[in-house]
Amino acid sequence: MKRIPWFYGYTLVMYGFIVCFLAASFFLHARGVFFPYWMNELEVGRSELSLAVSLTLMSGSFIAPFLGYLIDRYKLRVIISCAAIWMASGYLLMQVVHTYWALMFVLIPFQGLAFPGIGPLVQTKLMVNWFVRHRGKAIGIAIMGMSVAGVLAPPINAWLAETLGWRSAYSLYAALLLGLVLPLTLLLVRQRPEDMGERADGLPARGDNLSAEVIQGSDQMPQMSEQSQEERGLRTYKEILSSKAFWSVVLTFGLMNGVYSAMATHLPAYVSTELEFTIADGAWLLSFAAFFAIAGKIIFGWMMDNVAAKVAVIAGVVAYIGSTLVLMTGQSFPWLLLATALFGLGFGGMVPVRSVIISRLFGAAKFSRANGLLSFFLAPAMLWVAITGYIADRADSYLPAFQIWCLAFVLAGCVSLIVKVPNQADAIA
């Protein structure tokens, strides 16, 4: 029987899916469920606790440019392994958290700083290295693990908090990081196709008979550019920062980026304090949003490979706006389901859209540094979490915050219209 060839890039897509799933389950999809418990046990208000969450998310974004530099210089396997160990240490330290300031000490340096080294920033770089023609789909599937985590993790975390306590839940997270993520990383991760004797997208080895079109679609040029990138040094950062398109992308996604974090943090508190629902109901709503985020990653990943990038961005903005309008007007559970579905669709879709736009604007050679810089400048967007909590405390309602969200989405849609992104064919060429 003839053996069916297996492209190793597919193995890495599955690896990225698993790691994104586990990392997001612990870091992104636990805090919203645990938020009400922290409020009660640590005796702090929404404003203070929201600030802690915002600073945690911002800390990871602030180190992203440095991490982007490290990604271009060191093995991804080493970076992910170190991040997993550091994050696991933070989860174990949650056992001794009994004050607000202790929570801050653990969240910011151990969780916030570790997540970029294990999450989508490094996983998208891995996909960029291994894929060209199918880059959008590869990124979409790998980081879809975050959305699947969003479906499964909130109710599981709610159950763990009720049965074992939220501190014991973090001990379980640490065990999974050290016992599963770390071994998989050391065993599977390879930097680029040449390390396995392959080429991007699984193309035949060099020297085989290839059409000019196929050769054009290989990752030959990005690899050559990577060799010269180190020679330019800081010029790479200057080139990125001098790009008007880069700043348009920063503004577009800055207006949207932190709002999902705000929803993921505050939704259980919103439905359990202002509406007649429980924390568990809020957890299930987050799961519903994440379920549609899975669809968003697939749909929008396909759109980035087949239609204009602006169409994909505007579609995401429309989903965000529709969600917020429904959230403001509909307070029954079916309406909440619709609002979270639209929100998840928009958020999930924007993840591969952002990564593919950056890869097309700056190429594979500059991707890590451009993506790192983008994450750095998007850090202030994480203040949406704190702003939402502050407004809710002062107004004794989340409604004014939802109105501001809607305005931000409209502005993001307007800014996105000025971004000129190369299409798929031009980017490959």
pLDDT tens-digit profile of 256-298?
877 877 887 888 888 888 888 887 888 888 888 878 888 887 7
Residue 78 maps to a domain: yes
Residue 287 covered by a domain: yes
Cβ of 27: how many Cβ atoms within 10 Å? 26
Helix axes 399-416, 309-329, angle to 10 degrees: 170
Question: Given this model, what pLDDT does residue 180 score?
Answer: 93
Q: Could you read off the pLDDT of 370-418 as tens digits, one per residue?
A: 877 887 888 788 788 888 888 888 888 888 988 888 888 888 888 877 7
Please indicate, yes or no, whether the overall pTM of this predicted structure exceeds 0.75.
Answer: no
Residue 211 lies in a domain: no
Whichever domain contains 334, its CATH number is: 1.20.1250.20
Rounded to 10 degrees, the C-alpha dihedral 292/53/60/340 comes to 10
Q: Given this model, what pLDDT does residue 413 score? A: 81
Is 415 part of a structural domain of the chain?
yes
Nearest to 77 by CA among 191, 204, 213: 191
Return the percentage of the chain with pLDDT > 90, whole number.
10
How many domains are contained in the chain?
Answer: 1
- How does DSSP classify residue 2? P
Domain-embedded: residue 261: yes
Asked if the structure places residue 212 within a domain, the reply is no
Range of the domain at 31: 8-197+231-428
Q: 3-state class of 11 per DSSP?
A: helix
Q: What is the number of other CB atoms lying within 10 angstroms of the CB of residue 367?
A: 26
Helices (H), 242-332: 244-273, 279-306, 309-329
Residue 130 covered by a domain: yes
Asked if residue 213 belongs to a domain, the reply is no
Q: What is the pLDDT of residues 15-64, one digit of tens each?
A: 999 999 998 888 877 877 888 888 888 888 878 888 888 888 788 777 77
Rounded to whole angstroms, the Cα distance separating 381 from 255 reads: 7
DSSP-derived secondary structure letter, 192: S
